[in-house]
Amino acid sequence: MIKSVIIIILSFILESNLSNFISINTNFFNTFLVFSSLIIIDNILESKESLYIFAIFTGILYDLVFTDRIGYSILTFLIGSIIIKNINKISKLKVNIINYLIILIMYRLISYTILLLIGYLSFNPLKLFHSIYSSIILNLLYIITLKIIFIRGKS
């Protein structure tokens, strides 16, 4: 549990500060780092219920600090954590990196679809595509780094 909290605090600090150093135009945009950390936290927390509760609390904090839209991140993080827990049913591949990639893409699709459904965004597949490819490298690197540091022994 302490490890999970450390990972979340670290992710919040990085997500908040890296945007000042890395331009959105690069392929290393850091957005969604907090969500990415949930993928690793899943390996630390034993039960799925604890992951869901953790995702809800992280979502609340994320909304309070960053989006100012209480509810949006709670919902997306919760759906994201359900995907994380069921990734083995969704993807038959046993390659971790590909599974992480699928989770990240699905998360972005869902967060975009929700905003489309409530009429906040207009349909723009290019923007969705940009959101995926611009941040995927950094997110994957971040997940792998967290895995090496925090759950090296487990896997």
For binding to other proteins (CB under 8 A), which residues are involved? Answer: 12-13, 15-17, 19-21, 23-25, 29, 31-32, 61-62, 64-73, 75, 111-112, 114-115, 117-122, 131, 135
CA atoms within 13 A on the CB side of 95: 5
Residue placing its CB nearer to other proteins in the complex, 93 or 109: 109
Q: How far is the CB of 82 from other proteins (least distance, A)?
A: 12
Burial class (CB in 10 A: 0-12, 13-18, 19+), 30: buried
Q: How far is the CB of 109 from other proteins (least distance, A)?
A: 12
How far, in Å, CA of 115 to CA of 94, rounded? 32
Residue placing its CB nearer to other proteins in the complex, 32 or 150: 32
Q: How far is the CB of 52 from other proteins (least distance, A)?
A: 15
Q: How far is the CB of 56 from other proteins (least distance, A)?
A: 13
CA separation, residue 137 to residues 112, 130, 142, 153 (Å): 19, 12, 9, 24
Residue placing its CB nearer to other proteins in the complex, 60 or 151: 60
How far, in Å, CA of 45 to CA of 38, rounded? 10
Q: How far is the CB of 31 from other proteins (least distance, A)?
A: 5
Residue placing its CB nearer to other proteins in the complex, 20 or 155: 20
How far, in Å, CA of 84 to CA of 28, rounded? 23
Closest C-alpha to 73, from 138, 17, 15: 15
Residue placing its CB nearer to other proteins in the complex, 54 or 62: 62
